[in-house]
Amino acid sequence: MNTFYRNTLLIFINSILISCGALKFDVDYPDNASLEKIEFRKKQIYFLPMFHFGDKTFYEDVKKKIDSLRNKDFIIYYETVKNPENIDSLENDTSKRKFRKLYGKSITSKRFDTINKKLRGKYKYVGKDKIINQPNREDLNIIDTDKKVDIPMINLISEFEKTYGELKLSNCDFRSDLKEVTYNCKKIDEKLSSVFHKDFILKLRNEFVAQKVIMPKDDKILIVYGASHLNDIKRIVENKNTTYNNGYK
């Protein structure tokens, strides 16, 4: 079993116990970040799978690997669906609320409550590891010269609405705080929410990253992205080995 799959299995919940009406969980987290190689022509491409929360030592190792490969002239590709800073403030706020309605949680809310040791406000962590939320980009040593390779949420929502129609927000959606861990307004149809996650959060972004990777410009690339994106990005890029032709050899 390769490093990524072993580490992915380690972060799955080992046990969920129902005690006094509360859900509890214990998880083993990887201490070290894994690098997964992606093959495409003569390029050197590595994928560094990230997790939304984990052991502090894991993120310290992420920083070391990013610095090490940058010092070897690798270009860092990182993810963020945050909107551009120059976007209209009202459009920015509305897109965040639509994203929350579609995704079921806000991009600005933390997954893991480090004070109360709860995941998404529900699941009490009873393990021994010191769990933290994924640090921000600056704390992972991602710098201004690194490349944001992602689709802003306002564009993801726009693409979704082209096919499924305009998403209507309720008074509750507008009044509720985007920083709240749980989303308590009327939820969207589960099928549509699933479509948004599968076809837009994952598929559309994976295709976008893969297309950037195979372009001729960068020959040494480190992709710092969520672990759930690895398999599809790797598959798309490696399938292009024999079919892609854009003057690159």
Model pLDDT for residues 88-113, shown as the tens digit of each residue: 999 999 999 999 999 887 776 566 66
Which structural domain range is residue 29 located in?
A: 3-239
Tell me whether residue 247 is in a domain. Answer: no
59-87: average pLDDT: 96
The pLDDT of residue 81 is 94
Give the residue-averaged pLDDT of 24-44.
83
Q: Count of domains in the chain? A: 1
Evaluate if residue 170 carries a pLDDT over 60.
yes
Q: Is the pLDDT of residue 7 over 60?
A: no
Count of beta carbons in the 10 Å neighbourhood of residue 178: 15
Is 244 inside any structural domain? no
- Residue 9 within a domain: yes
Q: Does 32 map to a domain?
A: yes
Report yes or no on 248 lying in a domain: no
Does this model's pTM top 0.85? My answer is no
Residue 44 belongs to a domain:
yes
- Residues linked to residue 173 through DSSP beta bridges, in sequence order: none
Give yes or no for residue 129 having a pLDDT over 80: no
How big is the chain, counted in residues?
Answer: 249
What average pLDDT does the segment 42-49 reach? 96
pLDDT at residue number 161 = 97
Average pLDDT over residues 147-164: 96
Chain position carrying tokens 């690798």 = 74
d(CA 226, CA 100): 18
User: Average pLDDT for residues 68-88, to the nearest whole number?
Assistant: 95
Residue 114's pLDDT is what?
Answer: 59
Residue 24 lies in a domain: yes
Which residue is listed with tokens 């083993």?
28
For 42-69, give one letter per residue: b (16+ CB within 10 A) or e: ebbbbbbbbbebbbeebbebbeebbeeb
Assess if residue 78 is contained within a domain.
yes
